[in-house]
Structure 1
């Protein structure tokens, strides 16, 4: 800046040329453009934002104390053990999530476990290469600038204040920690750790707003939760820039909020402009986000990706996504989960060594399931560690086993009840339904019980006259597992091969994990612990599933000319891996001579699945993995089997020095048959 006008022009030109590739720089330039030529004018306007009149201080303190008490503990469903709910101190259990200042996709049709498991590691590596900007929760409503040095001390107070009238959207898949993150934000504000420029924070859940079936105003929305604001709200409206509104779980909202609807700009009844006006709930939320109601206030909205497209036309100034746990954050979670650090280390080591389980660990909900399911193998002396789950089906089988162990003896026939739960769950998977009501329970002849509560969480919903109870599985994958389990418990299975084929033909991915579970449950290793409580699985169903997998592998093994064909074969090989059926695998792939996945991105998980397949191919000659984005980690999974083929193509993969060393080990194998290497 001290080199003269020509040097400054070159600098700014360089910034403009490169800003699209650097998210933080792009954000800084946009903010500078908004600030105008003289930011000192804004600094004067922004002074005193944190100052509060003395007569409001008492209410603020009461509000902070109320929020602190509400948010200082974390209630966790512990359905695998005898206590239904355990209460933890938030600050003790909370593990910082990685939040990135971008959103990868705003529509998502593929199953979230597959979609995130498949690409999560690649995004993690981008973050480590500093191609992504990681932001903390206290930065969502803070300027990008972080000036240092004595000459900028006056600017610092301005640039770190909130941008007036800022709306932020945070995306994240189910179970990734959006609600817990909101709880931590509210707790940190209430305890004076973040956002001192906000005098008051109001937090709402869309799930609770669903119960409001009449017109209401913002004033009463607040007073329903915090009645001590009754006499001062009119004064708060005068300084909206000091207010933060949080709305959690847009994907759970029953009403539509359409920001692309042009009528809202022309017909006043669609817009609420006064916090005392009576409006529909979606119009209040819409007007706050669009800065038509209390212009100058800040708004935070969280949502799963499936509903994020609703906000594309909204005036959102900050987009962010919770990436979940990366690197050491996963280890930190298990260290906090287990009081015994020896057990924590043993469980994490097992997870880390299993690529499929490790990839699941980006999601706190999966970490919770892993911790509850794997812990007993490392804490009970009578459980042999060689039985520790290796596949996702084995993991969930042990998850359900622990529920049955603690609750199954409380009812006469757990098999019959679990069959009914599974049938209801399957209908839900088919219809993309995750919330069940009393009518659904009656339809499947189910009654609320201690046993049922072991599988489903009870949630309260308010309506005009009373509160009603709805039910949901702790996670979509648990619903899918119980759906798959029901196929083996029914006395009348019908044509299981037809059911599986129809599910496989759905292009939106809704049955993908369900199918993996069904195939996995055909394995005696996965079925054995459950049969202890549920009785033997139906032999007819097991044979039908095995025949279906055999038919799929044999039908797709030679159809890899197109990318779709390669993807279909890879998915089918995942089924084969989940079955852990060595006989089935050998019969289906023993005589294969060619395997080609060129141009299809293969993750380390895919490589872990592919390796035993190549290992079982007695006649394999040609393996084409060109342009598959295989790096060192993937090659490490493939390494034990590569020496078997005669022609091996690895062109355009970033193997690096470590990858070449792994390849050299394959070439040195005494049984190596490689004649041609690319």
Structure 2
């Protein structure tokens, strides 16, 4: 439109001055914590600062450049120091999105400046505490403990002195633990050798752990729930409601929910009042057991937890074999018999003992804690190490501080069993999120000895949104490494297409097993058919552990070939030894169950089976159905048919018809959240099938897609993997008149996955997605595309600041399609609006309305 006719409507809401709205209560808190900080000597304040370093760096990251600006204003930094330190710049790192690196650099600058700068930094924290939850929490802890905080830190950092009569026993104990935990055993079921042993330190990749644990309903399949919850955490993490915690901090009081520091009976020594009970949760394959192995190994080698004189680690899976009552003394001597002469001496100092119990979800006995409200005590309590009781009684008594009060306890469990611990006296709750960011790359670098191969595999994974999203879970990384490695190491595989869907990936996983073990049995097709039938029954009944009777029902017998697919776990019941079987991961069980549908000579009514599985409300068949759809693809079927023979054509055709029926039935039926979820699932089926003709025939004419809503409760949460699948569907459409993703929490990572298809949309609604300035930078690239068809773009409520307007203005100056831009409920101030206004006045853009 002609410049003279341009109209721009700008709505600006200026934030109130926080200093004018502070309550008397907050002023009192500020005065109190300031006085507490003033009372610290320079030496004490240094100790406190170092003690909180990790958390302070996270808080500085949240506070942005505020701390640096305050220090510059108070002349502790010069303007040049605010901008640069050597070759790295604090502000440039922050602006480029590397806020964690920026906060570390700023923290180090302050520490180098000395005591006066440290005091100024703490004063700036006090001023910012109301808007930064992490700062507020740290300051509350300091305020509560007062001068005792510095004394406590000194005590906890000192090594616990061990009596002379226990020195030899401790040395022997550490030596044995080093031997038990120093090597990492990997079940390389894809290779000819069953077990691969590596040094723990060489293979261990750091995991991200948060505190406290998130509360959620695991109604859906654990894989799906974990993926979505992982992204939900990212949203919470941006608001800094959760804190990262290192493995050597699991017993720190600062992460405690219910433990206070109190003066001891003599002197001013400060200590935990009666030990610490910590729970670490995480989904299958996330690394709980390996984390425990690393903790025990690091203690035994003197790297962590020097205040514990003895650490005892038990697996609930092993404790299941004890089909009798026992004492704590019996328990220790069963696994550590060499301590028989000194075990009774250990009771003298309970605070020096750590008991670890791994895998509560695998425990066969029930765990019931006393109800504080009703006063009921449903299980027996053991008050003495010589007291005999059930294993569950001993565990409960240790956690409840009835047995050896003062000792510490660490439990691991899947999230599904957390409700068992709701009434327990747990001090610290933590959750393993798995790999975040560069931790994924670290895993592959340690997985492959050849770093060229590691880089090639990771590059392929990183470029494939579906595979990359799986990589938060170490067990998925393991499967990816084993399955993708041969494509970059074996000459006969380098010419083949590398897997890009989950179905294709798992097809090559099974292909490798068949290649290495297929000649060990006459008819691998028959065995896999029977194995798949058993796997399907397990999926239907939520069963992952199988016994001999389960094998007999399916006419299966233990064999070397069968052991290529399933792990054998020995169990002991008194004098009787038995073996149970489990797939390496639930998703492998689901894949084998799906594979069986294509191997049966008499498929029956496969359509009926698919409809019944799809109608199940708890999502247990969701991944199974994705694999079924994926196996209808020639790319996924071809490698398996080399060993199993051709898939049943009749089944393949019926699966394709079913997918078509589901897509056509769901398009347009997105008013309810269930309807939105069902449509998204059908897009997953389409993606896995890689059937371009089917996809174009079903979604090609689709013009409107609605997964969002003005009510965030009715919007569908979309993870990055969902966004990648959605983008794939949109790219197959001729045109999209409207894509509604309001309040879908896609954030920057989800927007990255959607980017290839966004230019096809006429109306793009992205309100309430916390995209941030980096999201606008990405959208600006889309707007500059000459093929861009976006006419209306909704970016309200996305935490945008003035920093984004330069990129946005640059895009608007070249874009010729956009007519409406909606930016309300963001943090745009006068400078940003002024820049946008100047852009609109000095360019030939088509903007008709700017909100």
The C-alpha deviation readout for 1:30-74, integer Å capped at 9, x for no partner, is 6975x6996799899989971122111111111111111111101
Please say if residues 93 and 337 of structure 1, whose CA atoms lie closer than 8 Å, have aligned partners that are also in contact. yes
Q: Which structure has more RCO (C-alpha within 8 Å, separation ≥ 6)?
A: 1
The Cα of 1:413 is off from its aligned counterpart by 0.2
What residue number does 1:415 align with? 525
Q: State which of 326, 333, 336 in structure 1 corresponds to 2:436.
A: 326
The Cα of 1:7 is off from its aligned counterpart by 6.2
Q: Map 1:516-665; keep pairs closer than 5 Å.
A: 516-598=626-708, 599-618=715-734, 620-657=736-773, 659-660=775-776, 662-665=778-781
Q: State which of 276, 285, 295 in structure 2 corresponds to 1:175.
A: 285
Please say if residues 106 and 309 of structure 1, whose CA atoms lie closer than 8 Å, have aligned partners that are also in contact. no
- Partner Cα separation in structure 1 for residue 128 and residue 722 of structure 2: 38
What residue number does 2:295 align with? 185
1:298 aligns with 2:408: yes
The C-alpha deviation readout for 1:280-311, integer Å capped at 9, x for no partner, is 11111000000001111100000010101111
Shift in CA distance, 6/460, structure 1 to aligned 2, threshold 3 Å: closer
- Partner Cα separation in structure 1 for residue 236 and residue 269 of structure 2: 28
What residue number does 2:254 align with? 144
Q: Map 1:118-129; keep pairs closer than 5 Å.
A: 118-121=228-231, 123-124=233-234, 127=237
What residue number does 2:610 align with? 500
Please say if residues 186 and 201 of structure 1, whose CA atoms lie closer than 8 Å, have aligned partners that are also in contact. yes
Q: State which of 405, 427, 434 in structure 1 corresponds to 2:544.
A: 434
* Structure 1 portions without partners, runs of 5+: 146-156
Q: State which of 505, 515, 522 in structure 2 corresponds to 1:395.
A: 505
The C-alpha deviation readout for 1:563-619, integer Å capped at 9, x for no partner, is 221121111111111111111111111222221122333333222212232222235
- Partner Cα separation in structure 1 for residue 472 and residue 513 of structure 2: 24
1:9 aligns with 2:32: yes
The C-alpha deviation readout for 1:234-287, integer Å capped at 9, x for no partner, is 221121111100000000011111125569956697111111011011111000
Please say if residues 516 and 575 of structure 1, whose CA atoms lie closer than 8 Å, have aligned partners that are also in contact. yes
* Structure 2 portions without partners, runs of 5+: 1-26, 37-124, 256-266, 709-714, 795-851
Shift in CA distance, 160/450, structure 1 to aligned 2, threshold 3 Å: farther
Shift in CA distance, 350/214, structure 1 to aligned 2, threshold 3 Å: same
The C-alpha deviation readout for 1:496-541, integer Å capped at 9, x for no partner, is 1211121122222211111111110011110000000001111121
Please say if residues 245 and 298 of structure 1, whose CA atoms lie closer than 8 Å, have aligned partners that are also in contact. yes
Count the aligned residue pairs.
663
Please say if residues 370 and 376 of structure 2, whose CA atoms lie closer than 8 Å, have aligned partners that are also in contact. no
Q: State which of 324, 342, 352 in structure 1 corresponds to 2:462.
A: 352
1:213 aligns with 2:323: yes
Q: Which has the larger radius of gyration?
A: 2
- Partner Cα separation in structure 1 for residue 481 and residue 556 of structure 2: 29
The Cα of 1:108 is off from its aligned counterpart by 2.0
3-state SS in 2 of match to 1:621? strand
- Partner Cα separation in structure 1 for residue 378 and residue 788 of structure 2: 76
- Partner Cα separation in structure 2 for residue 490 and residue 31 of structure 1: 67
Q: Map 1:437-476; keep pairs closer than 5 Å.
A: 437-476=547-586
- Partner Cα separation in structure 2 for residue 132 and residue 498 of structure 1: 45
The Cα of 1:641 is off from its aligned counterpart by 2.8
- Partner Cα separation in structure 2 for residue 550 and residue 319 of structure 1: 46
What residue number does 2:833 align with? none
The Cα of 1:386 is off from its aligned counterpart by 5.6
Please say if residues 142 and 161 of structure 1, whose CA atoms lie closer than 8 Å, have aligned partners that are also in contact. no
Q: Map 1:176-325; keep pairs closer than 5 Å.
A: 176-261=286-371, 270-325=380-435
- Normalising by structure 1, report the TM-score: 0.91
3-state SS in 1 of match to 2:308? coil
Please say if residues 113 and 360 of structure 1, whose CA atoms lie closer than 8 Å, have aligned partners that are also in contact. no
- Normalising by structure 2, report the TM-score: 0.73
Q: State which of 155, 173, 188 in structure 2 corresponds to 1:63.
A: 173
The Cα of 1:654 is off from its aligned counterpart by 4.2
RMSD of equivalent CA atoms:
3.0
The Cα of 1:125 is off from its aligned counterpart by 6.7
- Partner Cα separation in structure 2 for residue 490 and residue 16 of structure 1: 70
- Partner Cα separation in structure 1 for residue 776 and residue 32 of structure 2: 46
